[in-house]
Structure 1
Amino acid sequence: MPTLTKPKEHNRERPVVFMENVSKIYPNGKTAVQNVSLEIEEGEFISFVGPSGCGKSTIFNMISGIIEHSVGKLEILGTTPTLARQQSTDVSFVFQEPTLLPWRSVLDNVMLPLEFRNVTKQEKLEKAHHVLKMVGLSEYTKALPRELSGGMKMRVSIARALVSKPKLLLMDEPFGALDEITRQNLQSELLRIWETEKMTVLFITHNVFEAVYLSTKIAVMTPSPGKVESVVEVPLPFPRNEDFRTSHQFSDIAAKVSQDLKF
């Protein structure tokens, strides 16, 4: 079965995500995801690529506990996805759209996840200001979403996901609607944050080049019903800069992923 980890000889730690023969079958009989087996270790940056409708978002929704899997074993941080979502702030989700509350300021949008936790007002403010500085929006705390560009809105969405210091960050094609310059800038910002915060990141994209630039490994999925066809390693060091995008290694890995996408 495809795996995203190599077995450790001694004292193997529990993976952040463990999926064994996981399938999702909807009530109408449609199988969206079939027999997916993955192990994802702490600190990895894993991108999922595949054709539209192959079940990438379904996998993320199962991992986050938004929907339940139908068959197989699925554990997140050693527990069920539902309990992981209900009992901790260890899992955060960034959707394709920023989904900001239009009547709330940038600062208030970012503090939203903390309002459901036992956190003092001062702590909320400190945490929110910290992550807004991290994404480069310290000067926009009082702005409303309508006053922001698309890239800035996505930065707010990322800051909101980071404010609870998650161990696992799920990102469902967050840069898909952005222009290429903004997209590349946010890719670099995301890698900087990932390296600083030591999170595990799962990232959906249709862009092979984006996947290669960001990832430690890339899971290539088949058309529906979605299966993991292959796992392509990106064995190149971080931090990565713009020169990496034009390197032979980058081109070779992108070609490998593209070839695996030809079913």
Structure 2
Amino acid sequence: MNTTLAEDTVKQQAIENVVRMSGVSKVFPNGNVAVDNVNIDIAEGEFISFVGPSGCGKSTIFKMISGLIDNTQGSIEILGSQMNPMQQKRTNVGFVFQDSTLLPWRSVLENVMLPLEFQKKSKKEKIEEAAQALELVGLKDYTKSLPRQLSGGMKMRVSIARALVAKPKLLLMDEPFGALDEITRQSLQSELLRIWESQKMTVLFITHNVFEAVYLSTRVAVMTPSPGKVASALDVRLPFPRNDEVRTTHEFSDIVAQVSRDLKF
């Protein structure tokens, strides 16, 4: 009985830590050490942003978590398992890249349906689920549109819908708003928080914008210059739901200042 209880406790702790990186390093074949001895636990339901100078290994960390590349040393546990994420159900991890990466010849609905194409569901079910994902990001009236007919912000919404359609437990976002104007960017930040709160996902987000990181996150992980390490992980003690007024508070400014100080190595 005690052994079973202990095993259940360990299993529950593993689930609560959606991502656990222990002593993780990545050395590329050319000898470049991109990431060195990264240690971080990310709990279920967190929204954690990674900030740091260009080339510090933020994207490399995300690619290792998603299974696109292997780590050289250390261990990475995803959803309680040390298996390569690509060996798990593909619905567990979603990825939104810097570019919307939409297929230009496919409609918005058809682009969102891509992750469902190899699932054993009827075409009607796939269409319904893709339509629901588009409604979630505010694009229910654009199902038949082609990517060239959309603005940059709308294309990114489609990319987010495509990542959400498979209902991932973990969503990785690599500078998704970097190429957008500030007005569109702030609008999508608020939309992303609304989606995160409604879907109860764990989100890992890369940005170079400290204000964006603080506005979105429950924690901000600050990385050192290459080879990248996690120098600090600051709690963002601002209440949810958040609105634009939060950006003008002293509390917000204080956290931005702390993250900015930690970025100065």
TM-score using structure 1 length: 0.94
Letter in 2 for 1:211: A
Number of residue equivalences: 254
Instruction: Indicate whether 1:213 and 2:195 are aligned.
Output: no
- Residue of structure 1 equivalent to 2:6: none
In structure 2, which of residues 111, 131, 138 is the aligned counterpart of residue 109 of structure 1?
A: 111
SS of equivalent to 1:116? coil
In structure 1, which of residues 170, 173, 177 is the aligned counterpart of residue 172 of structure 2?
A: 170
Distance 1:21 1:186 in 2: 34
Q: Percent identity?
A: 70
- Residue of structure 2 equivalent to 1:88: 90
In structure 2, which of residues 131, 142, 145 is the aligned counterpart of residue 143 of structure 1?
A: 145
Distance 2:153 2:47 in 1: 21
Q: 2:50, 2:222 within 8 Å by CA — same for their partners in 1?
A: yes
Alignment of 1:177-256 (within 5 A): 177-256=179-258
SS of equivalent to 1:16? strand
- Structure 2 residue ranges without an equivalent (≥5): 1-8
Distance 1:37 1:81 in 2: 18
Evaluate the alpha carbon distance shift between residue 181 and residue 57 of structure 1 in structure 2; reply closer, same or farther with a 3 A threshold.
Answer: same
Distance 2:86 2:69 in 1: 13
Distance 1:74 1:218 in 2: 20
Root-mean-square deviation (CA), in Å? 1.2
The range that moved more, 111-120 or 93-102, is 111-120
CA shift for structure 1 position 87: 2.8
Letter in 2 for 1:145: P
Q: 2:65, 2:85 within 8 Å by CA — same for their partners in 1?
A: no
Distance 1:118 1:17 in 2: 28
CA shift for structure 1 position 123: 1.1
- Residue of structure 1 equivalent to 2:51: 49
- Residue of structure 2 equivalent to 1:71: 73
- Residue of structure 1 equivalent to 2:25: 23
Q: 1:171, 1:202 within 8 Å by CA — same for their partners in 2?
A: yes
Distance 2:168 2:260 in 1: 32
- Residue of structure 1 equivalent to 2:3: none
Q: 1:20, 1:73 within 8 Å by CA — same for their partners in 2?
A: yes
Distance 1:176 1:165 in 2: 24
Distance 1:34 1:254 in 2: 26
The range that moved more, 80-89 or 36-45, is 80-89
Letter in 2 for 1:17: V
Distance 1:88 1:98 in 2: 19
SS of equivalent to 2:84? helix
Q: 1:77, 1:84 within 8 Å by CA — same for their partners in 2?
A: no
Distance 1:143 1:81 in 2: 39
Distance 2:37 2:49 in 1: 19
Distance 2:207 2:144 in 1: 31
